[in-house]
Amino acid sequence: MKPEAIRSIVQDEILRKVTKPARYLGSEVNAIHKDWDQAKVKVALAFPDSYEVGMSHLGLKILYHLLNLDEKTVAERVFAPWPDMEEELRKREIPLFSLESYRPLTHFDLVGFTLQYELSFPTILNMLDLAEIPLRAEDRGAEDPLVVAGGPVAFNPEPVAPFFDLIVIGEAEELLPQVIEEYKRYKEEGGSDRLGLLKRLAKNEGIYVPAFYHPTYKEDGSLAGWERSGDVPFPVRKKVIKDLESSFYPTNFIVPYLDVVHDRGMVEVFRGCTRGCRFCQAGMIYRPVRERSIQTLTDLALAIIDATGYDELSLVSLSTGDYSGLAKLVDELLPELSKRGVALSLPSLRIDSFAVELAKKIQTVRKTGLTFAPEAGTQRLRDVINKNVTEEDLFKAAEAAFSAGWHSIKLYFMIGLPTETLEDVEGIYHLAKKVAELGLKIKAEKGIAKQINVTASVSSFVPKAHTPFQWARQDTREELRQKQRHLAQLFRREKYLSLKYHDVQVSFIEAVLSRGDRRVAKALEEAWRRGAKLDGWSEFFSIERWEEAFEATGVDPYFYANRARPFEETFPWEIIDSGIKKDYLLKEWQLGLAGKTSDDCRGGCDGCGVCPALKVSNRLKHR
């Protein structure tokens, strides 16, 4: 179907029938519309979730504007349609299209998916089906787009490997332009030798072509290793930006017509994390830390506000409070932002009074609460996970917050962590209660009128690839439910405490998909065929659908989620080299089991191996 016909039908007939039609317009401020016929390579940047979620994703913003800098490249956006829109498209046999030009995805050379969350996997298959692109790479021909993936979840690509022609491992700003240049050469050569193109691409650092790697298995079902086709690297090492200061960062962000999850300007202050929390995949795979200078960040922040008109700017990273020049940066930004009537926000705070003082400085109107993440209810378990935060740290931060006028605090915890006991679970309640009592005491002393509220938000631990806890098992769903019920009984007694917890069924599927091998792909495809999509939304998730898919395909989900891994086992994700040495992860796993902590590597090298492996210096500019 021609783009003009799709645009006419969608805008004249369909948009009046769907919720939030602004999701499908593509004409927002700063959206880029280029001459299709002048471009040599056309890229569809696909986000497998709703518009509101995808338009909040910083990586998509960066790639969209970076690729469009090249006058010979067109990059356009596509998001998962909401079910009402999907119904209209299927009824009229309209293929999934890009927002900017309303062109079917089959008109593009590359369709690139962001792998941000495991529960989005079925949505990827649904989008491919809507686009009339064969689901599996082996079924695509020279006339089909290259289907590409990247993002943090790509660090265990095996459960989705059969559906992608190639997978970008690491920071796509470095890799996608290389892929596009190679694709230009491919088209100049006639665009018929798809296998030859993939062979050339596979030789590049950070490019994984699943078709060239064939997993083999032992009798017990565990992975034996991989057989390779041709001269391809093993393992595939991630690609990183060595100098973040000079890397591209956009300022003319697209401004949506409707509210999105993070509807504000964003400046990425640094990449990576030095804290070494043993459960945290992002803290491991984004190493090493690389910072931008205060001057660069200030210039970017003001340019973003001028280009977008946003009235809020957020300083983002895995742990913004760890930026070595944060106090000075805030002092530089606040006067300039105040002149423009723009608020400044810090989304990730350390648990200390310094962070609270910064929050006090930047938030003159405090309509929302502060959030801290102790992660575990007892010091013993915080030492196991290497959180390096004490009760005293939390109480000092809470005292500073209540004294400064905050009346609502949220505390993030996990249950099901390795070595957890009932005492550790109950510690969540006792810690939250102590924080509330501290707030009530300060409220009485200062005559605060508003009611104190402390919310404990409790998620279920999912062991992740490339972390020290990759050897751990996930608690069974019944074990997690018992812990949730116990906490609920404790919290029910308290007027000033509230408890929120995640669906253990969702966490179970997340564990299967995040720890699975290539055999899981058939269960994933079956779950999609039974209706799975947009599973990150509670109203669409169905555990029955997944369980039926596992049974129909003979995939044992407990083998992946609830089984502890022996030290010598080969993991599916060892096809990927994150730069971190496996023996370092094992050492950290053993230290965790012993309840011993490790230092933050800002105080000295912890021997993880990333910096020498990737030839990157962990330089911190403003200490």
Q: Tens of pLDDT along 436-490?
A: 999 999 989 888 767 889 999 999 999 999 999 999 999 999 999 999 999 999 9
Pick the CATH number of 3-237 from 3.20.20.70, 3.40.50.2020, 3.40.50.300, 3.40.50.280: 3.40.50.280
| pLDDT the model gives residue 352 | 76
| pLDDT the model gives residue 602 | 81
Please state whether beta strands 207-208 and 213-217 pair in parallel, antiparallel, or not at all (unpaired).
unpaired
DSSP string, 110-152: EEEEE---GGGHHHHHHHHHHTT--SSGGG--TTSPEEEEESG
| pLDDT the model gives residue 353 | 67
- Calpha distance 348→550 (Å, rounded): 38
DSSP 227: E
User: Is residue 366 very low, low, confident or very high in pLDDT (cuts 50, 70, 90)?
Assistant: very low
What average pLDDT does the segment 160-182 reach? 95
| pLDDT the model gives residue 41 | 97
DSSP 615: T
Angle between helices 520-529 and 543-553 (to 10 degrees): 130
Q: Among all chains, which residue has been given the structure tokens 């002048």?
A: 38
Q: Among all chains, which residue has been given the structure tokens 């102590």?
A: 434
Task: Write down the number of H helices and E strands in the chain.
Answer: 21, 19
Both tokens assigned to 113? 């998916």
Please state whether beta strands 408-415 and 453-460 pair in parallel, antiparallel, or not at all (unpaired).
parallel
| pLDDT the model gives residue 367 | 44
Q: Tens of pLDDT along 405-449?
A: 888 899 999 999 999 999 999 999 999 999 999 999 998 988 876
Whether the per-residue pLDDT at 392 is higher than 80: the answer is yes
Whether the per-residue pLDDT at 320 is higher than 60: the answer is yes
DSSP string, 365-420: S--S-EEEEEESSSHHHHHHTT----HHHHHHHHHHHHHTT--EEEEEEEES-TT-
Q: What are phi and psi of 264, to 5 degrees?
A: -165, 165
Domain boundaries, the chain: 3-237, 252-348+582-623
Return the SS3 of 230: coil
User: Is residue 364 very low, low, confident or very high in pLDDT (cuts 50, 70, 90)?
Assistant: low
What average pLDDT does the segment 366-386 reach? 86
Q: Kindly list the distances between the CA atom of residue 575 and the CA atoms of 25, 119, 230, 236, 584, in Å, as whole numbers in the listed order.
A: 40, 22, 16, 6, 18
Q: What are phi and psi of 478, to 5 degrees?
A: -70, -40
| pLDDT the model gives residue 405 | 83
CATH number, domain 252-348+582-623: 3.30.750
| pLDDT the model gives residue 359 | 78
| pLDDT the model gives residue 298 | 97
φ/ψ region of 376 (left if φ > 0, alpha if ψ in -120 to 50, else beta) reads beta
Both tokens assigned to 152? 């943090």
| pLDDT the model gives residue 358 | 80
- Calpha distance 506→516 (Å, rounded): 15
Instruction: Name which residue leads in pLDDT, 191 or 222.
Output: 222
CB atoms within 10 A of CB 409: 24
What average pLDDT does the segment 546-565 reach? 98
| pLDDT the model gives residue 262 | 85
| pLDDT the model gives residue 348 | 73
Q: Is 392 exposed, middle or buried (0-12, 13-18, 19+ CB in 10 A)?
A: exposed
H/E stretch holding 73 reads: strand 73-79
Q: Which of 124-138, 228-242, 370-384, 608-622 has the lowest average pLDDT?
A: 608-622
Both tokens assigned to 141? 């021909």
Name the H helices within 410-476: 422-446
Q: Tens of pLDDT along 486-513?
A: 999 999 988 899 999 999 999 999 999 9
DSSP 206: T
User: Is residue 371 very low, low, confident or very high in pLDDT (cuts 50, 70, 90)?
Assistant: confident
